[in-house]
Structure 1
Amino acid sequence: MICNSFVQHMHDEVEAGVITVGLSAVLMDISLAAVAVSRIVNRNVFDSLVMVPETVNTHGEKQHRLDMKAHDIFVSFLKKGKRCNYLISEECEDTIDLHNDLYDDSVYTVCMDPLDGSSNIDVNVSVGSIFSIYSQEWQSKAGLTPIKSGQEQRVAGYVIYGTSTTMVITFGTGVYGFTLDYVTGEFLLTHPNIRLSKSGSSYAINEGNSEDFPHQIREFLAFCKQSDFENNLPYKSRYVGSMVADIHRTLLQGGIFLYPSTSTHPKGKLRLLYECNPMAYIIEQAGGLAIDGMRPILSIPVLKNHQKVPFIAGSYNMVKKVLNLYSNESINNHVYYSC
């Protein structure tokens, strides 16, 4: 069986008018950077023998030595490609101006978590990169048009570095998975037209925080653990602790991923622009749902680069069950999170 290459797929999408030449060029730069990041992740066990002082990122979180390496790799490839104008990265407080000239009136902004789940690297658990691309306009008087919500995404995707390196992307016309062939160095189409099953049999959540969850989430977890053979209950608990790994399994096998608000983190811990929005776009394009409890993730107004939101996504029927639990109450009575 001969698989289409990512390069050929991009060419076909441009020819069909699905994406522009500029968008395809930015995507190619991201794919090339992902190959380089895949190599440093695979070499981690050897490089870790050299002691490196622990650092903290701009959000006060512990930073793995590969976090900034991955960030620097993506910055380098996007800058050399000359098509991406701005980068919003988890590893940088401010928007990065790549000083690339405009080819037309479009301004391409990439929002990215360069290395999601990096705390799992040293125990050989799958990690990944998450990204989305926005096409904005430059208005001479008003400046750059702001990103209003995730509905404006032109492309979203993630790369998972596991037993194989796989890139999953959507242009708003379905979801496709490409796996890196280490012999040729190319991404090949291995998962055409990914569809998320309407119902699943597993849930992914850090139940160690269950006492701090809103009662709607605790009620849903109690439902998941019921014994009801006819309705495929109880569900299986499957939690890796790496968003990319948990979403990838959910996407391919069905199920639900939950990272809700807690009393100590009333707005959740995941970032809207470069974690929740791209994952929500992918999940919805595959036939699933993504909400913060009350609202679709993609409808949430973007207020700042590192904005946090609760995140619940996966198979349609399972997420709808959670939505119904929240909808039974007014948003004003939401235990922790208020719009």
Structure 2
Amino acid sequence: MGYSVAVVGATGNVGREMLNILAERDFPADEVHAVASRRSLGTEVSFGDRKLKCKDLEQFDFSGVDFCLMSAGAAVSREWSPRIGAKGCLVIDNSSAFRYESDVPLIVPEVNADAVAGFRKRNIIANPNCSTAQLVVALKPLHDVAKIRRVVVATYQSVSGAGKEAMDELWTQTRGIFVTDSPEPKKFTKQIAFNVIPHIDVFMEDGQTKEEWKMVVETKKILDPKIRLTATCVRVPVFVGHSEAVNIEFETPITADEAREILRTAPGVLVVDKRENGGYVTPVECVGDYATFVSRIREDPTVENGLNLWVVSDNLRKGAALNTVQIAETVINRGLLKKAA
């Protein structure tokens, strides 16, 4: 007998991707429910070769549901996740609402799967920020061998990370430039078409943006609190797929060849690193794939024990929906959840 799963926020980019991935991976579910706000009641979404009609979050009964995959934003999650968890349903939340709370596990299964058992305290597991998820998948196997001291990362984040309105804005502005319409920013602070914007989320008092702060705090919680990390997060005119230029300083020596071999056998990583034209992965090629791709592996002669990497992943998948489903699979595989009656 399979599990009962509810996807909350089923009409959004990530919610739809969650349904796709549940179907693709043959998740052991007898029941899958699409749940959204009242305004989406009755809207149809795809689940494999089936269509599901969205149910109203406020009226939906979670008492017989095993997993709630939550992708409805932090405000909704703060209100609903504790209430859903209290009914015995395990919430795996894609928002930032609970990531930084000590009694809520923050999980990337390839990195810290053992921490998943901590969900019993509140019946909530947090999914990390999309830019953090792909970064720690690439860092973990290297950290295990040579111990990372410091990381400097610059991100090149696609507009899908800011939702459907952001994707629409990139399309509208791009089209408008070619027909001489003035592209007016609405979702973003500046024109995104044919431009890059070094600003994601709000600014903090120290000059960081919150997106940059998230990468620091989440990497420490997931991987190692002793790692020093600094980030510059940039929005780029790409629809799907986040890229990161990563500079790593290790405590012990590690060569590019050694790193390449370590990463080739690491879970969730696919190395594409040929020193020739096109011998690397770009966002266009990563879309729809589960892997975190690593390219441009090379030594950094300016620091002791330094390496540079280029890391690319589908942010709607590994950065959000796929990681959420993998967390649920980890809970099942470890026998940590008793099915709802």
**TM-score for both structures, normalised by structure 1:** 0.26
**TM-score for both structures, normalised by structure 2:** 0.26
> Greater relative contact order (Cα 8 A, min sep 6): structure 1 or 2?
2
